[in-house]
Chains A and B, each alone.
Chain A
């Protein structure tokens, strides 16, 4: 065994270009930006890019789960919003003027966080049941869920006495996650990296993770091989909801407030980042490192192109082109013909 198959050199280069296209795009972009504006290469800029990427990375890690199954969750962004509003409403300082719950005592910060995650986990469970048990198409089932979640969020947000006022006065023991710096970067970045590490571990070092790739790669084969397909699907959606919910909580820590519009279209940013990072829309293929690079590429587009003074409208066009190129590449690489 282990006979090495010889391939002609040209296919090697082609394969390299296909496999590493992402890194090449990233290097090329950074190269062009630095060539135009050498000041881009400095610690402050790198720090800003990392901080801006943190919450997006957690959302992208979340969306990776349904994507690996060959599905998606279009309710991801609205769950970020719901999580933000719930956690913010429960963790205001006692002396803040416009409190969401005027008589609520100051709870230990872990309580609002657990309540928030429990709520989004239920949403994830519903998504998972719709897709695994009712065999609904993830695309439309989760879109339906997204409008429901937004509706619930708006109803909650409009309650007396808040009446849809932006929620402020977030306690220090939540906002410190953003304001504290460790080794020169915000704690948010370290939290995001910790989540990335955990997700990597789950995907690569547990039976559950291995089974996700198998279900995503060939659901029927997974069934024949004795994998509990429904359970895997439901678990993936619950994990995803908890991750995007965490994204919402950290968004509150970062901005010091919340309103029901938070998280709008975050799921599309996350899906785009994953796809640019090589996560296949057909399922079964994708790495955590890819999601990280995908997120950073998008942050560099918005930050770096602004930095060199490019018209923001051009940024939209470049972003779109990169997404389309990534999907085209995905289809060529991962089409199961």
Chain B
């Protein structure tokens, strides 16, 4: 029987309202590349964070080379030979390569950092890995792939036996990806194991030996790359039945275009390109895709928060320009951002003030705010949206996520919008409140508004949308309607460009 390098058994981890990991297992052989796949929210990252000591699982065992180990924090993980290259790299931009690699364990001569020794070790390490990066370059001057190389060098400097890579190619070009693969093969040849998380399925067939599939926090199965096809993998990732979690679709879509988006191209060359679509009155247009598909960037650009290089907006036959959020709001747009805390609520202010942020101008008479008239509309909106709170003067930070989200929806209703852009409207919202937000969305389209909803949750995307527009790597890969809009099709479109690129080289 072959000895495993890493064995995870029966791992469980819950967050309030969600079972993120439900008795998950994972077995990784030495000297192999083990891919971990699943939809957004399947629990991949949670599992890796448990392995790396960032989260503490409630149940489950971890064995390394057959020996049970306890990992309480990242220091433990590193000592056990586990290291992780995060999707979002966190270099110290104003320190050089050496400092970034050896931070926390600088070689010393007495109390003084031994710069010469550090330089010698860094040069040797980078030379070994065939990286051509001078060790005194500042981290801020490095490209993403070079930073990744530094992270890999760091893992090796810890003599990691198991290296976790979370979506390492998400911001790499084709050539950079090739170099990374070469490096991974070298690590493999040295007997190290790599756990490779990726959404780009074609890529896995090139680099992985085995693939573990996860879905809804559960372990689905582990397969050798030569015994499974892409279609089978997609089916395993999405294989789930839709349940009654959504209010019925009343199909109130009118045959009238409210918004036409043409050739939208971001000013950022790495973001979206040439996206065109139409939005009809009374429609909920879902926007699906994987992390990194540039959906948030697209909707924020439509709302005027990010610059575009090219593109045209036409609203009910008239060309419009949303150069900034103020213009967008004046044109009847509203945006509920993905990051409710960072860009949505003003935590210290009351529910009332938060609800009125975008609407104060409407209550001004001769330059003076008519405070007496402020209360009633907010009260009405809060009642209509069933916001649960002690009073309207309660600071919004004391409300639950779902109720905060309802107040933000209310903010836009008070501002009088008719095109609502919702970016992950139910992220961090508990199950009960989710249904209410869905109900509000249905109510809004019934009243003749239109909604663009970016969602990474497949059931939500399919259960709420009249049409689903799928993006992949900044491009529109297809718009699905009616029966066509099913999980397999969405997944296929969401990975379509990745597949083509990998085949093309």
User: Interface of A with B (CB < 8 Å)?
Assistant: 1-5, 204-207, 209-211, 213-214, 217-218, 220-228, 280, 284-285, 334, 336
B346 touches A1 (CB 8 A): no
Extra 6 A-B pairs, beta carbons < 8 Å, given A4-B390, A205-B368, A221-B342? A204-B371, A207-B360, A222-B357, A224-B335, A225-B329, A225-B358
Report the separation of the CA atoms of residues A326 and B134 in the bound assembly, to the nearest whole angstrom: 49
A210 touches B356 (CB 8 A): yes
B350 to chain A, nearest CB (A): 10
A226 touches B383 (CB 8 A): no
A224 touches B337 (CB 8 A): yes
Report the separation of the CA atoms of residues A280 and B342 in the bound assembly, to the nearest whole angstrom: 19
How many A-B pairs with Cβ below 8 Å?
A: 97
Given A206-B369, A224-B325 in contact, is the A1-B347 Cβ separation under 8 Å?
no
Kindly identify, within residues 331 to 350 of chain B, every residue whose CB is under 8 Å from any CB belonging to chain A.
335, 337, 342-349
B371 touches A205 (CB 8 A): yes
A2 touches B343 (CB 8 A): no
By a CB distance below 8 angstroms, the chain B residues around A220 are: 342-343
By a CB distance below 8 angstroms, the chain B residues around A225 are: 325, 329, 357-358, 411
Report the separation of the CA atoms of residues A277 and B34 in the bound assembly, to the nearest whole angstrom: 59
B143 to chain A, nearest CB (A): 25
B360 touches A210 (CB 8 A): yes
Report the separation of the CA atoms of residues A105 and B324 in the bound assembly, to the nearest whole angstrom: 51
A211 touches B360 (CB 8 A): yes
Picked from A213, A228, A280, A284, the residue with its CB within 8 Å of the CB of B326 is A228
- Which of A211, A213, A222, A224 has the most chain B CB atoms inside 10 A of its CB? A224
Given A206-B367, A206-B369 in contact, is the A226-B344 Cβ separation under 8 Å?
no
- Which of B328, B347, B386, B391 has the most chain A CB atoms inside 10 A of its CB? B347
A1 touches B345 (CB 8 A): no
A221 touches B343 (CB 8 A): yes
By a CB distance below 8 angstroms, the chain B residues around A1 are: 379, 382-383, 386-389
Q: Confirm or deny: B136 has a beta carbon within 8 angstroms of a beta carbon on chain A.
A: no
User: Which residue of the partner chain A has the closest CB to B330?
Assistant: A226
Q: Confirm or deny: B427 has a beta carbon within 8 angstroms of a beta carbon on chain A.
A: no
Q: Confirm or deny: B245 has a beta carbon within 8 angstroms of a beta carbon on chain A.
A: no
B358 touches A210 (CB 8 A): no
By a CB distance below 8 angstroms, the chain A residues around B390 are: 2-5
Kindly identify, within residues 346 to 387 of chain B, every residue whose CB is under 8 Å from any CB belonging to chain A.
346-349, 353, 356-358, 360-361, 364, 367-369, 371, 379, 382-383, 386-387
Report the separation of the CA atoms of residues A220 and B325 in the bound assembly, to the nearest whole angstrom: 11
Picked from A3, A205, A217, the residue with its CB within 8 Å of the CB of B347 is A217
A67 to chain B, nearest CB (A): 13
User: Which residue of the partner chain B has the closest CB to A280?
Assistant: B348
Report the separation of the CA atoms of residues A154 and B386 in the bound assembly, to the nearest whole angstrom: 62
22 residue pairs A–B, Cβ–Cβ below 8 Å: A1-B387, A2-B390, A3-B389, A3-B390, A4-B390, A204-B369, A205-B369, A206-B364, A207-B361, A207-B364, A210-B353, A217-B346, A217-B349, A218-B342, A218-B343, A218-B345, A220-B342, A221-B345, A224-B325, A224-B335, A226-B326, A226-B330
Report the separation of the CA atoms of residues A211 and B364 in the bound assembly, to the nearest whole angstrom: 13
A221 touches B360 (CB 8 A): no
Q: Confirm or deny: B305 has a beta carbon within 8 angstroms of a beta carbon on chain A.
A: yes
Report the separation of the CA atoms of residues A209 and B364 in the bound assembly, to the nearest whole angstrom: 12
Q: Confirm or deny: B397 has a beta carbon within 8 angstroms of a beta carbon on chain A.
A: yes
Report the separation of the CA atoms of residues A105 and B118 in the bound assembly, to the nearest whole angstrom: 74
B356 to chain A, nearest CB (A): 7
B472 to chain A, nearest CB (A): 26
A227 touches B346 (CB 8 A): no
Instruction: Place the interface of chain B in its size category.
Output: 35 or more
A224 touches B346 (CB 8 A): no
The 4 closest A-B pairs by CB, nearest first: A217-B346, A226-B329, A225-B357, A220-B343
By a CB distance below 8 angstroms, the chain B residues around A221 are: 342-346, 357
By a CB distance below 8 angstroms, the chain A residues around B387 are: 1
A133 to chain B, nearest CB (A): 15
A231 to chain B, nearest CB (A): 10
B328 touches A226 (CB 8 A): yes
B421 to chain A, nearest CB (A): 11
User: Which residue of the partner chain A has the closest CB to B363?
Assistant: A207
Report the separation of the CA atoms of residues A101 and B360 in the bound assembly, to the nearest whole angstrom: 49
A217 to chain B, nearest CB (A): 4
A314 to chain B, nearest CB (A): 35
By a CB distance below 8 angstroms, the chain B residues around A223 are: 305, 325, 343
A285 touches B348 (CB 8 A): yes
A168 to chain B, nearest CB (A): 42
A108 to chain B, nearest CB (A): 29
By a CB distance below 8 angstroms, the chain A residues around B364 are: 206-207
User: Which residue of the partner chain A has the closest CB to B357?
Assistant: A225
Given A3-B388, A207-B360, A210-B369 in contact, is the A224-B349 Cβ separation under 8 Å?
no
By a CB distance below 8 angstroms, the chain A residues around B369 are: 204-207, 209-210
Picked from A206, A214, A228, A334, the residue with its CB within 8 Å of the CB of B346 is A214
Given A205-B369, A227-B357 in contact, is the A334-B325 Cβ separation under 8 Å?
no
- Which of A211, A214, A284 has the most chain B CB atoms inside 10 A of its CB? A214
By a CB distance below 8 angstroms, the chain A residues around B367 are: 206
B173 to chain A, nearest CB (A): 30
By a CB distance below 8 angstroms, the chain B residues around A205 are: 368-369, 371
By a CB distance below 8 angstroms, the chain B residues around A228 are: 326
User: Which residue of the partner chain B has the closest CB to A211?
Assistant: B360
A203 to chain B, nearest CB (A): 11
B353 touches A224 (CB 8 A): no
Report the separation of the CA atoms of residues A284 and B361 in the bound assembly, to the nearest whole angstrom: 19
A284 touches B360 (CB 8 A): no
A224 touches B371 (CB 8 A): no
By a CB distance below 8 angstroms, the chain B residues around A214 are: 346, 349, 353, 357
Report the separation of the CA atoms of residues A36 and B344 in the bound assembly, to the nearest whole angstrom: 53
B427 to chain A, nearest CB (A): 16
Report the separation of the CA atoms of residues A155 and B205 in the bound assembly, to the nearest whole angstrom: 75
By a CB distance below 8 angstroms, the chain B residues around A336 are: 347-348, 397
User: Which residue of the partner chain A has the closest CB to B386?
Assistant: A1
A2 touches B357 (CB 8 A): no
Report the separation of the CA atoms of residues A214 and B345 in the bound assembly, to the nearest whole angstrom: 9
B389 touches A218 (CB 8 A): no
Report the separation of the CA atoms of residues A288 and B346 in the bound assembly, to the nearest whole angstrom: 20
User: Which residue of the partner chain A has the closest CB to B390?
Assistant: A5
B368 touches A224 (CB 8 A): no
By a CB distance below 8 angstroms, the chain A residues around B382 are: 1
Report the separation of the CA atoms of residues A217 and B396 in the bound assembly, to the nearest whole angstrom: 12
Report the separation of the CA atoms of residues A227 and B383 in the bound assembly, to the nearest whole angstrom: 26
Report the separation of the CA atoms of residues A153 and B344 in the bound assembly, to the nearest whole angstrom: 44
User: Which residue of the partner chain A has the closest CB to B356?
Assistant: A210
Report the separation of the CA atoms of residues A51 and B360 in the bound assembly, to the nearest whole angstrom: 38
A282 to chain B, nearest CB (A): 8
Report the separation of the CA atoms of residues A303 and B129 in the bound assembly, to the nearest whole angstrom: 72
B115 to chain A, nearest CB (A): 31
- Which of B328, B337, B344, B357 has the most chain A CB atoms inside 10 A of its CB? B357
Report the separation of the CA atoms of residues A280 and B347 in the bound assembly, to the nearest whole angstrom: 13
Given A1-B387, A223-B305, A228-B326 in contact, is the A213-B353 Cβ separation under 8 Å?
yes
A206 to chain B, nearest CB (A): 6
By a CB distance below 8 angstroms, the chain B residues around A5 are: 390
**Interface membership of chain B positions 186-207, coded 1 if the CB is closer than 8 angstroms to chain A and 0 otherwise:** 0000000000000000000000
A218 to chain B, nearest CB (A): 4
A222 touches B371 (CB 8 A): no
Report the separation of the CA atoms of residues A214 and B348 in the bound assembly, to the nearest whole angstrom: 9
By a CB distance below 8 angstroms, the chain A residues around B361 are: 207
